[in-house]
Homo-oligomer: A and B are copies of this chain.
């Protein structure tokens, strides 16, 4: 059990006041070089480390941020976390990682616990809270970055970081059309996912613009896991054997679809071209390898942290909205 050295210990050792030690620690001037050196020496010798807790209480800044994600193990958020962590490290912040497990109540709870810990700010990914709840809990936080979610009316208090879903959708669907796939189905992800809905909208728009007719039965909502994708793909393909292309909510769902195809005897891409979303590591690894929309997930993390810190240290408190662009990666499942 280590006994923490305090500033008073150091001051006593050197024979100066607390303030002198404090000044040295914070590299403030007003300390003669000889004194500074003696203090520095004592600090080193005694192994003194200032208590961030005490400092936080006095300065009202904790040097910590909260990162809230639906699922730590989801390969999508895994990279976001990496990005946040990396930038935090460089900027000398620590990050509280919280998983909500997709549960709004748990999301609420962790946001409160972060408030208790007096984090300097929060990065909230893919929030499942409804607008009112979200507004309420966020109003308690000093700085906020919302990732993958827009909150109307709060643009002045909340930073927003989005992926251009419409663009992704357009790239994917146009690619399929350009390859002669005119009957394109969609595994649209959770019905309550804004990004899913956005992509379906763009899907419709592209087909309309291209003068290609489509059937509303071709679009199915589904949970975002691989098993879910497999099950829903099986249903969709059985119900609509006319499909020649399939656009999936994410790569996990797409891999599920691939498995459903294998199961049903569909050859990919001959019988059915499949496009995913995100470009997780797995996408390049399955066979056939997956054509997909690459989302810059790591950059999502670094950018989120950048937005947060710039808000924290800005006197004005102005907020930004940043949109990152996906790009199409063409592989074997939809060449």
Contact = CB atoms under 8 A, between A and B. Distances in A.
Contacts of A49: 112, 115-116, 140
Interface of A is mostly: mixed
Nearest to A69: B85
B86 A116 contact: no
A82 interface: yes
Contacts of A81: 72-73, 97
Contacts of A73: 78-79, 81-82
A110 interface: yes
Interface stretch (A34-42, A52-60, A195-203): A52-60
Contacts of A53: 53, 56-57, 62, 117-118
Interface in A38-89: 47, 49-54, 56-57, 62, 64, 67, 71-73, 75, 78-79, 81-82, 85-86, 89
Contact of A285 (B51, B71, B86, B282): B282
As for how many copies of this chain the complex holds, the number is: 2
A217 interface: no
A141 interface: yes
Contacts of A101: 86
A110 B93 CA distance: 10
Contacts of A4: 118
A96 interface: yes
A99 B88 CA distance: 10
Contacts of A142: 1-2
Contact of A118 (B52, B75, B141, B287): B52
A144 to B, nearest CB: 11
A116 B106 CA distance: 29
Nearest to A4: B118
A304 interface: no
Contacts of A2: 139-142
A320 B142 CA distance: 41
A173 interface: no
Nearest to A71: B82
A64 B117 contact: yes
A106 B75 CA distance: 24
A114 interface: yes
Task: Indicate the member of A52, A99, A113, A317 with the most B CB atoms within 10 Å.
Answer: A52
A310 interface: no
A78 to B, nearest CB: 5
A106 B285 CA distance: 31
A33 interface: no
A52 B82 contact: no
B82 A317 contact: no
A130 to B, nearest CB: 19
Q: Which 3 A-B pairs have the closest CB atoms?
A: A97-B97, A52-B116, A73-B82
7 contacts: A1-B142, A50-B116, A53-B57, A53-B62, A53-B117, A67-B97, A94-B113
